[in-house]
Structure 1
Amino acid sequence: MKLFSKEQIYEGDKLTTELQKISSTDLMERAGIQIFNWIHMRMQGAQVPIHIFCGIGNNGGDGLVLARHLITHGYNVETYIVNCSDKRSKDFLINYDRIKNVTKNWPKMLSCKNDFEDIVIGADDIIVDAVFGIGLNRSPNAWVQKLFQKFSASKAFTLSIDIPSGLYTDKVVEDEKAVVHANYTLSFQSPKLVFFLPETAKYTVQWEALDINIDRDYLMKTETEVELISKHEVLPIYKPREKFSHKGSFGHVLIIGGSYGKIGAVNLASRAALSSGAGLVTAYSPKCGYHSLQTAIPEVMVITDDDETHITNINYDIEPTVIGIGVGLGLSARTAKTFEAFLKRNTTPLVIDADGLNLLSKKKTLLKLLPEKTILTPHPKELERLIGKWYDDFEKLKKVKAFSKKYDVIVLIKGANSITVYNEKLYVNTTGNPGMATAGSGDVLTGVISGLLAQAYDPLAATIFGVYLHGKSADISLEDYGYQSLIASHIIETMGEAYIDLFKQPEQPKVEEQAQQPQEQSNK
């Protein structure tokens, strides 16, 4: 799914009104009806008090459309206008007049003074936040901030329209008290990038994208900087196997890593490479890893260094398709020297993780030795060592894009929503869960991506697909183990189920009586 920028959303709205020969008011009506349908389908006329807070721009106009339809369908609605400016949008004013035609209980004006003290919101009520939209470019004033804090203090379920009010689309907020903390956000056409970044995702617990019928050609042809990756996006990447293929058809992964006490990292990466589909896997470790690797993973071949505890000389007589290097490697002086010598002569595609990344950060001139589209998989601290500190998530993404472009590498920013970065493009993953915050999870990911790369997936596709499968496998394992008991080995064990899930059809919902939905109308 494409994630459109604020500017692209405005352009899409304008183009849609022109091509579909409708007014901006008609498009607002369409958006408001979609929100109404979403609520009506779930509430079925329940008389829970609904408090709709509208700003005086287009987001407030959407709220007024919603309020009007809720009122005409018999809901218990109280509407408020957060009236802190005289710059009302045209479509807001049109819908303000329309709502006055369907109820004697006109919206209550809140004039940015202490006049909301008499508003009682119960913990079992519903708040609809339609105060500010994507156009916000400065922090709300102190009075509005107090209103938002009243929302939070009420403990009521809070539904935001398009984006939680006070949240920007392209920068981090200055004060979290100046943002609505939404339980749910209904975002028009596509979600916003800020729903997935560590510093801003906390402002909405859940989100859903509502289709408001923006021009299809525009949506299809417009290139976006960000894409959201789910099953729909990875299914076309999948390469089916042919009947007469053999293990040589699916590549040979060489996993280089391990040191005394850290052979488990090589074990996990090697097993994951096999489970992701690599035809052959060889592990290269210090001598101390030989017996444990041969015993634990009989399917994996093993080559050892002459040194008992660390890798001090990388020498092999095989021709791997891809090399995954760095897991459990250690940072000894001899290992660092060996790592540099290896990079100087290597021409095989690489996936670099863990101490491989740390060694690169200690001597950044080595980055120039990496083959094109080398895949780097840092966690936050490893990323910081590579690119330096950042002020906020947006600066981090900017620095990673510049780093990727400079060295022609693919950077995977690991996190709750891992983001694959290549040049100017961002690919945000949607699978995974907090149970993955466990030792060895990153080693498994290195193996999965290496295994896909060995199967002739393009490096970018291998990374995107690998991150998805890794997270999906963990989601499947979660059903049996929960967050606390999930370990890295479980992720490997359910890799096959993650593949099978690609082709599962979603369960059909039970047939129920559909709620009556209003017809779109222009009310001109």
Structure 2
Amino acid sequence: MKIFTAEQIRGWDRFTISNEPVSSIQLMERASEALSGWISENCKNHKKIAVFCGYGNNGGDGLAMARILYTKGFDVDIFVRYPKGKFSDDASVNLKRLRDLSGISVREFKEADDYNFDSKTVVIDALFGTGLSRPLEGIFEELVEVLNEKNCIKISVDVPSGLSADHIHETDHVVFKADYTLSFQCWKKTFLHPETGKYTGKVVILDIGLDERYEKTEATNSFVIDEKVIDGIFKPRQDFSHKGTYGKVTIAAGSYGKIGAAVLATKSALRTGAGLTFVMAPQCGYEILQTSCPEAMFIRGGKEWLENFESEDDSVYGIGPGLGTHENTAEGLLTFLKSYKKPVVLDADALNIISKDRQNLNLIPQRSIITPHPKEFERLFGSTENSFERLKLAHKKAAELNIYIVLKDHHTQIITPEGNVFYNITGNAGLAKGGSGDILTGILASFLAQGYSEEEACIMGVWLHGRAADLAAEKYSKESMLATDVINTFGDVFEELNRRTGMKL
């Protein structure tokens, strides 16, 4: 799914109105029907609706939605800044339609002070949406501060008021803190970054029938990974194939006391379909690895830490989990990178070793995949003010080094050398535990070995990692799930993929 800016989304509206037999007021009605349909289905136990409307088309959506919800049997109260201010043409039409109905009260914002916001009330924010490009101020800022304190369900229409769709404001300011954001047609960039996404709650994308031709032709470099994207990448297992069909993986990992990381990465590569899997580890991990991963072959690379990195051109290397940063390990890794020219997957201590000297970045083979979390990224490339600036720097470094950067976060970002960014929306806070990154290293190396391109391996790997975590959380809870639980749900994800892409199991 493409991510568009607020201006592009307005262009999408105009294109639809110009190229289809639909007027702007009819398009507003479509949006309002989608909003009221979701609310009536999901808020059945909350019959009291308080809708706060601005002057623009976001407010018009709220007014039209209020009318529809009223006809569905909800008790609806509307709050506007009235009589001050001028409503947009479409909002004015919907305000008039409301006045033709008896039973809906239209109140002023100041009346919210004495309103009974009980536990059965749903507060709807239809103040600004994407129409506001600056922080809230005046009575709107005061109103949102009051509403944020209310202990009831809060829903924003399109974008929480006070939040830009495209960027982070430079200073702290008031933003409506929603439990749900019902947004139209596509994700907005700010929904996907930690500093701004914290205001959206659960994001629900509503299809309001905007013209598909605009989406296909309008350019962007930002995308959300959805099922349509994944189904286009996934390569089902072929009947007439053998282990050589699916490539060879070598996991270079582990040190004394950290062999578990090597186990997780190796199991992950095995469980995601690699034809042959080797694990290059120190001798101290031999018995553990041969016992826990009997399907993998062991390569001795040292005694208590890895120092000899054997090189084979027909194997894809995943390097870093539990590796440690011993000087012999560092020397061995850097020597390996100086001679090895094919893409590799680098994570954890491999990145920490490289970060000791910025010149080491030039040793990373072109088209390789690195998977830093924010702190590792900072060690590699320098500090930034926020995640938006970090993404900007990642764009620059991915292009300079001709590598793929998988920047791990709540919504992990994949930055390509060509300047595209793919946001992942699977996964949950249960992955915020040691071992989660080790699993991802194994997945990525496995997919590269199986013939996925670097971009495909990143997209498919990050999505599968998150989807498996979602299934694990359903079974074990976010608090209790372990990295091994995630590995054990890979099969369920592949079953889903095969069913969806039409393969018989």
The TM-score bracket by the shorter chain reads over 0.9
CA deviation after TM superposition for structure 1 residue 433, in Å = 1.9
Identify the range of structure 1 (62-71 vs 162-171) with the bigger mean alpha-carbon deviation: 62-71
Contact 1:3 1:190 in 2 (8 A): yes
Contact 1:139 1:178 in 2 (8 A): yes
Contact 1:347 1:371 in 2 (8 A): yes
CA deviation after TM superposition for structure 1 residue 14, in Å = 0.7
Query: 2: distance between equivalents of 1:303 and 1:75?
Result: 67
Query: 2: distance between equivalents of 1:349 and 1:127?
Result: 51
Query: Which residue, 150, 153, 164 being the options, matches 1:154?
Result: 150
The C-alpha deviation readout for 1:9-49, integer Å capped at 9, x for no partner, is: 011011111111433222222212221222334457x7822
* Residue 501 (1) aligns with residue 496 (2): yes
* Residue 299 (1) aligns with residue 295 (2): yes
Correspondence for 1:407: 401
* Residue 232 (1) aligns with residue 228 (2): yes
Identify the range of structure 1 (167-176 vs 190-199) with the bigger mean alpha-carbon deviation: 167-176
TM-score norm. by structure 1 comes to 0.90
Query: Which residue, 186, 189, 203 being the options, matches 1:193?
Result: 189
Q: Counterpart of 2:224 in 1: which secondary structure? A: strand
Query: 1: distance between equivalents of 2:288 and 2:116?
Result: 66
- 1:395 partner amino acid: E
Taking the TM superposition and a 5 Å limit, the aligned residue runs for 1:185-224 are 185-224=181-220
Correspondence for 2:19: 19
**Residues 219, 85 of structure 1: CA spacing in aligned structure 2 closer, same or farther, 3 A cutoff?**
farther
**What is the RMSD of the two structures over their aligned residues, measured on CA atoms?**
2.2
Q: Counterpart of 2:91 in 1: which secondary structure? A: helix
Correspondence for 1:481: 476
Structure 2 residue runs without a partner (length 5+): none
CA deviation after TM superposition for structure 1 residue 84, in Å = 9.9
The C-alpha deviation readout for 1:56-94, integer Å capped at 9, x for no partner, is: 111111111112223344532111113597454232223
Contact 1:320 1:348 in 2 (8 A): no
Query: Which residue, 263, 268, 275 being the options, matches 1:267?
Result: 263
Correspondence for 2:273: 277
Query: Which residue, 134, 139, 142 being the options, matches 1:138?
Result: 134
Query: Which residue, 471, 492, 509 being the options, matches 2:466?
Result: 471
Query: 2: distance between equivalents of 1:443 and 1:240?
Result: 24
Identify the range of structure 1 (455-464 vs 434-443) with the bigger mean alpha-carbon deviation: 434-443
Query: Which residue, 395, 409, 428 being the options, matches 2:423?
Result: 428
Query: 2: distance between equivalents of 1:453 and 1:25?
Result: 50
CA deviation after TM superposition for structure 1 residue 479, in Å = 3.4
Query: 2: distance between equivalents of 1:38 and 1:309?
Result: 58
Query: 1: distance between equivalents of 2:321 and 2:149?
Result: 47
Identify the range of structure 1 (73-82 vs 445-454) with the bigger mean alpha-carbon deviation: 73-82
Query: Which residue, 366, 371, 378 being the options, matches 2:372?
Result: 378
Query: 1: distance between equivalents of 2:305 and 2:82?
Result: 68
Contact 2:46 2:122 in 1 (8 A): no
- 2:52 partner amino acid: F
Contact 2:345 2:368 in 1 (8 A): yes
Correspondence for 1:444: 439
**Residues 9, 251 of structure 1: CA spacing in aligned structure 2 closer, same or farther, 3 A cutoff?**
same
Correspondence for 2:327: 333
Correspondence for 1:181: 177
Query: 1: distance between equivalents of 2:303 and 2:46?
Result: 73
Identity value in percent: 39
- 1:221 partner amino acid: T
The C-alpha deviation readout for 1:251-294, integer Å capped at 9, x for no partner, is: 11111122221122122111111111111111112222223222
Total equivalences in the alignment: 500
CA deviation after TM superposition for structure 1 residue 131, in Å = 0.5
Contact 1:82 1:131 in 2 (8 A): no
Contact 1:231 1:502 in 2 (8 A): no
Identify the range of structure 1 (17-26 vs 347-356) with the bigger mean alpha-carbon deviation: 17-26
Contact 2:34 2:206 in 1 (8 A): yes
Query: 2: distance between equivalents of 1:387 and 1:297?
Result: 35
Contact 1:170 1:394 in 2 (8 A): no
Contact 2:98 2:104 in 1 (8 A): no
Contact 1:71 1:103 in 2 (8 A): no
Q: Counterpart of 1:186 in 2: which secondary structure? A: strand
TM-score norm. by structure 2 comes to 0.93
* Residue 89 (1) aligns with residue 79 (2): no
* Residue 2 (1) aligns with residue 2 (2): yes
Correspondence for 1:62: 61
Identify the range of structure 1 (73-82 vs 386-395) with the bigger mean alpha-carbon deviation: 73-82
Correspondence for 1:245: 241
- 1:28 partner amino acid: M
Q: Counterpart of 1:117 in 2: which secondary structure? A: helix
* Residue 458 (1) aligns with residue 453 (2): yes
Correspondence for 2:383: 389
**Residues 77, 484 of structure 1: CA spacing in aligned structure 2 closer, same or farther, 3 A cutoff?**
closer
Query: 1: distance between equivalents of 2:84 and 2:173?
Result: 21
- 2:470 partner amino acid: D
Correspondence for 1:511: none
Contact 2:135 2:173 in 1 (8 A): no
Identify the range of structure 1 (93-102 vs 413-422) with the bigger mean alpha-carbon deviation: 93-102
Query: 2: distance between equivalents of 1:115 and 1:141?
Result: 19
The C-alpha deviation readout for 1:431-484, integer Å capped at 9, x for no partner, is: 222222222111111001100100000011011111111122222223332223
Q: Counterpart of 1:241 in 2: which secondary structure? A: coil
Query: 2: distance between equivalents of 1:16 and 1:41?
Result: 28
